[in-house]
Amino acid sequence: MQKKLFNKYTVVGVTDVGKVRKHNEDSILIDEDLGLLVVADGMGGHQAGEVASLAAIDVVKRMLQLQQKGSVQQTWLGRLFGLFGKGSLDINEKQMALEKALLEANKHVYQLNIERDEINGTGMGTTIAGCWMLTVDTMLVFHIGDSRIYQVRGGQLKALSSDHSMYQEWLDNGKEGDAPPANVIVKAIGPYEEVEAEIRIVKFQNADGFLICSDGLTDLVEDLEMERILQGLAGQSVAACQALLDAALAKGGKDNVSIILVGQDDK
């Protein structure tokens, strides 16, 4: 999947079942009209994890489409009646809309679990991580779970998210006691009636790129190796995205792998 945003950024996405799993429970979204890029890593087994990841992305997309439509209509009416001259970007409004969309996605998947007679804290769920690119230099970054978002600047990665996992909590608390398993997450969309998303505003520079991925990549490929791949294929988004996937598969591909890479390709 390859698309263009703001007639400037090349966005490439791929999702792969890997070499061990029989079904792909990951889902990705690249919506050039909204500027919305999302990776969701479902859990709960076939016909559960896939349902959760697809449903969460669909709810977020539909709610942000409604917000965008309402925003455009208000701007048009304001211009018509001379309330203001030029349309302005209300970051707080966008952030509240995104938070509401993520909460609604959780509510929807949680209700699916209730309908399946799952008790609180069980059933299907999904991580979610993404970027809502509002302008050519401003976006909202959001995540729940351990799918990640990185900024790519000068070939170097900078994490824009912190895993909602027991292992990350152990690191944050000074590594007290034995290390917990790395793949046990403490937040997800669906298992619990309430969940809190992390949302932040990111201003970026002209040459910045971004990487959104599931843990099927980051569990197997270290940040330094990802940097080496991105540096070697700078300006070649399709090839770089495929090389990241190939690196995870070469190390066993034990999980589904999903990647969205945002860059500016060489002419």
Summarize pLDDT for 8-59 with one digit per residue, the tens. 899 999 999 999 999 999 999 999 999 999 999 999 877 799 999 999 999 9
Strand partners, 149: 212
Q: Return d(Cα 114, Cα 180) in angstroms, integer.
A: 29
- Give the pLDDT confidence score for residue 78 in this predicted structure: 47
What digits encode the pLDDT tens for the residues 88-117? 678 999 999 999 999 999 999 999 999 999
Among 73, 1, 71, residue whose Cα is nearest residue 37: 1
Q: Are 144 and 102 in contact (CB under 8 A)?
A: yes
Tell me, what DSSP letter sits at residue 119?
P
Q: How many domains is the chain partitioned into structurally?
A: 1
Instruction: Give the whole-angstrom CA distance, residue 3 versus residue 107.
Output: 30
User: What per-residue confidence (pLDDT) applies to 72?
Assistant: 62
Residue 134, pLDDT above cutoff 50 = yes
> Averaged over 171-191, what is the pLDDT?
89
**What is the number of other CB atoms lying within 10 angstroms of the CB of residue 6?**
11
- pLDDT of 76 strictly over 50: no
- Contacts with 140 (C-beta within 8 Å, 6 or more apart), sequence order: 91, 94, 95, 98, 131, 132, 134, 199, 200, 201, 202
Domain that holds residue 191: 2-263
Question: How many angstroms separate the CA atoms of 109 and 111, rounded?
Answer: 5
Confidence band for 205, pLDDT divided at 50, 70 and 90: confident
Q: How far apart are CA 174 and CA 199, in angstroms?
A: 25
Domain of 155, CATH number, reads 3.60.40.10
